[in-house]
Amino acid sequence: MRFNLEVHLIIEGTGMLSRGIFTARNKNEIANVAYQYIQNIKRETGYRTTLIHKVIIDGTKDITEEVKEIDNRHIPKMDDIF
C-alpha cells in the first residue's frame, strides 16, 4: 500500500518538514516505515538532537504517538543478548 508521509521534526531548535510517498506491506507497518525515515534524516543531519513533533499520514491521520513509542523502546545491551 502507498501512503503520503509528512514528518515535522525539531533539530537542535530548528523546525524541519519533510514529506514523501512511501510503501508498506500493510497498515501495521506504516509507523515502522515512518520511524525508519526519521532515522535516515537523523543520520543525514549527523545525529543532532532531534525531537519528533508530528507525523501525519495521508494529510489527516496523526501517528505521532505510535512513532514516538517505537523511538523510545529499550534497546537491550549486547551482554543481555549473548
Q: Is the pLDDT of residue 78 over 80?
A: no
Q: What are φ and ψ of residue 50, in 5° steps?
A: -125, 125
Tens of pLDDT, residues 38-65? 999 999 999 999 999 999 999 999 999 9
Check residue 15 and give its pLDDT.
97
Strands lying side by side in the sheet with 61-62: 14-23, 2-11, 50-57, 61-62
Q: 1-36, pLDDT tens digit by residue? A: 999 999 999 999 999 999 999 999 999 999 999 999
Q: How far apart are CA 10 and CA 67, in angstroms?
A: 15
Domains in the chain: boundaries:
2-81
Asked whether residue 79 carries a pLDDT value surpassing 90, the answer given is: no
Q: What is the largest CA-CA distance in the chain?
A: 43
Higher pLDDT, 73 or 67: 67
Q: 4: Cβ–Cβ under 8 A, 6 or more apart, which residues?
A: 19, 20, 21, 22, 57, 58, 59
